[in-house]
Amino acid sequence: MEITQKMIPATNRISDIESLVHNHFEYMIMLQIHISQLTYVVDFVHRHKKKILLHADLIQGLKADEAGAQYLCQDIKPDGLISTHAQVITTAKKRGLLAVQRIFLIDSHSLETSYRVIQSAHPDYIEVLPGIMPSVIRDVCTQTKLPVFAGGFLHTTTDVKAALAAGASSVTTSDKTLWSLQREL
């Protein structure tokens, strides 16, 4: 499953999802959500012929482990999962869902650790946070040979364009003012 969308909106609000399905976005990301709302959100998005990625680590009432990932894959059936946990990524891949390994980079040690996790989990995509580090995005693209999402601390058009120019295939953001850039990218 290849995502060609350059801007992927991410939100904590169901009302945003309800609006986004009427927009030009094929993919969207649900960040924080309560476990009781999952079925509604995923079914709603699918009824509108759109795709949704769930951030497995941020689902209230669900542990981000293999059992939680199996529940999401078998019962909720989103189009993909995002997680910092390799076992969630591995389970999503086994179940045919898009698997996005989220990595938080604070220093070179965290980058090296992330490379080891990526090698063991074999995600489809990597989400690099913060996404305002073009040289690091370039390095992750080169080292992993995987498509990279850039997310976090992207506040301007310049930030978005720099991340994409550095090799990110897409930008993920909860900043609604940037969502309209999709048409320009």
Task: Judge whether 2 lies within some domain.
Answer: no
Task: Judge whether 37 lies within some domain.
Answer: yes
> What confidence score (pLDDT) does residue 132 get?
97
Rounded CA separation 177/74 (Å): 35
Rounded CA separation 138/83 (Å): 21
> What confidence score (pLDDT) does residue 94 get?
97
Domain that holds residue 161: 7-183
Task: Judge whether 23 lies within some domain.
Answer: yes
Q: How many domains does the chain have?
A: 1
Contact 66, 87 (CB under 8 A): yes
Instruction: Name all contacts of 150-154 with Cβ < 8 Å and 24+ positions apart.
Output: 151/10, 151/102, 151/127, 153/129, 154/178
Contact 14, 41 (CB under 8 A): yes
> What confidence score (pLDDT) does residue 185 get?
85
Residue 114's CATH number: 3.20.20.70
Task: Judge whether 42 lies within some domain.
Answer: yes
Task: Judge whether 72 lies within some domain.
Answer: yes
> What confidence score (pLDDT) does residue 5 get?
96
> What confidence score (pLDDT) does residue 79 get?
98
> What confidence score (pLDDT) does residue 77 get?
98
Task: Judge whether 1 lies within some domain.
Answer: no
Q: Give the pLDDT of the chain (185 residues) as one tens digit per residue.
A: 799 999 999 999 999 999 999 999 999 999 999 999 999 999 999 999 999 999 999 999 999 999 999 999 999 999 999 999 999 999 999 999 999 999 999 999 999 999 999 999 999 999 999 999 999 999 999 999 999 999 999 999 999 999 999 999 999 999 999 999 888 88
Task: Judge whether 109 lies within some domain.
Answer: yes
Task: Judge whether 18 lies within some domain.
Answer: yes
> What confidence score (pLDDT) does residue 182 get?
84
